[in-house]
Structure formats: C-alpha cells, structure tokens
Amino acid sequence: MKSAYEELLSKLQEGEVVEAVVFGEYGWDDPGTNLIPVDRRNKVLSFGEAKQYMKGWSFKNGFGEPDCYAVYIWTNFRVFWVALYDGSTRLNSMPRNPIDCVPGMPGGGLN
C-alpha cells in the first residue's frame, strides 16, 4: 500500500523531527477519494495530525499527471516540498537555516 508517511520517514536524517505539515491540492484533479479532507488542507497541522492523511498515496509517481498532494513539511533541519518534472513527482528539500551546502536544481538532473 502506498504511504507518503513511510516515504517521508525514510528521508529523515538522524535526529531530524517533523514539526509541521501543510497539505495543498491533489495533482491536477482530485481523485475524489478525499484522502485529505478539504477543511484540513492549506492549514498548519502537527505531524501527529498529518500522519493519518499520509496513507493511500505516494510522493513518487511516474511521468504524466501528478498523483500526489502538494505539501510543505517543516523539520528541525529542513523544509520539504514536492518537486515536479514532466509529471514525475518526488520529495525535495532544502536546509531550514543558512548552512554551507551544495545547492540542487529541482526539475533536472542536479538534485
């Protein structure tokens, strides 16, 4: 079963904790499954509140229509969002605070 929750957990670094999540719209067309109720979208949720809505869909999908929700996810280290390239989606992130790092370029091969 698809699980955006498990995908997110697999991206976290040691000591990294999710602090807040905001869900946006689903891809180009909401599948009608209402996995995330409209009244819970566009609002800051704790990770505990958000967890229940992160099952039954995935951040990763093949090319074509995006098949996931738009998100902003804040951790104590980074901010995550969904990167989109020709319909293919995946989680991307950047440091939450200024640090020495190697910047990526979402949407291309530099990531």
* 92 neighbors 70 (Cβ within 8 angstroms): no
- How far is C-alpha 104 from the chain's CA centre? 17
Percent of the chain with pLDDT over 90: 63
3-state secondary structure of 75: strand
Of 39, 43, 71, which Cα lies nearest the Cα of 57? 71
Residue 32's pLDDT is what? 58
Residue 55's pLDDT is what? 92
* 89 neighbors 67 (Cβ within 8 angstroms): yes
Residue 110's pLDDT is what? 47
Q: Hey, what are 105's tokens? A: 């370029």
Residue 74 has pLDDT above 50, yes or no: yes
Residue 63 exposure: Cα atoms within 13 Å on the Cβ side: 3
Cα-based distances in Å from 18 to 8, 13, 32, 74, 79? 9, 11, 28, 6, 9
